[in-house]
Amino acid sequence: MGAILAIELAWSKDFRLIWLECDSSMLCQAFSSFNLIPWSLRGRWRKCIKICKEIEFKVSHIFYKGNHCVDKLALLGFKNKLDFIWYDDLPTIIKLYFFHNMY
């Protein structure tokens, strides 16, 4: 569901270049095997796949230990009891990890 929400949000913000990096290899496989998606999500999943075909889209697997940016953001959300927040700029808390991971 997280991937679906991320793709829908990126589409609504008119992003046309998306790279989804996740630590779930099953999610990465789901982009090529529709049967991995639970039936209750298949309608929205079809829409996401359609979106992905209309833009430049890439999905890749990252090992959990290499996903420092997500760990820091999750900790920030947990500590501040946030349901959702959108950053227009890279948050200071993850800048070092982001640039390290980028290279």
Domain range summary for the chain, segments of one domain joined by +:
1-62, 65-103
- Whole-angstrom distance, CA of residue 58 vs CA of residue 67: 17
Residue 17 pairs in a beta bridge with: 56
Predicted structure pTM score = 0.75
3-state secondary structure of 26: helix
Question: What pLDDT score does 57 carry?
Answer: 96
Question: What pLDDT score does 103 carry?
Answer: 66
- Whole-angstrom distance, CA of residue 73 vs CA of residue 60: 19
The two tokens of residue 84 are: 């959702």
In terms of Cα–Cα distance, which of 48, 46, 52 is closest to 16?
52
Question: What pLDDT score does 22 carry?
Answer: 86
- Whole-angstrom distance, CA of residue 15 vs CA of residue 23: 22
pLDDT in tens, the chain (103 residues): 989 999 999 999 999 999 998 888 899 999 999 899 999 999 999 999 999 999 999 999 887 676 788 788 888 888 888 788 888 888 888 888 888 766 6
Per the listing, tokens 């890279």 go with: 90
Residues in the chain: 103
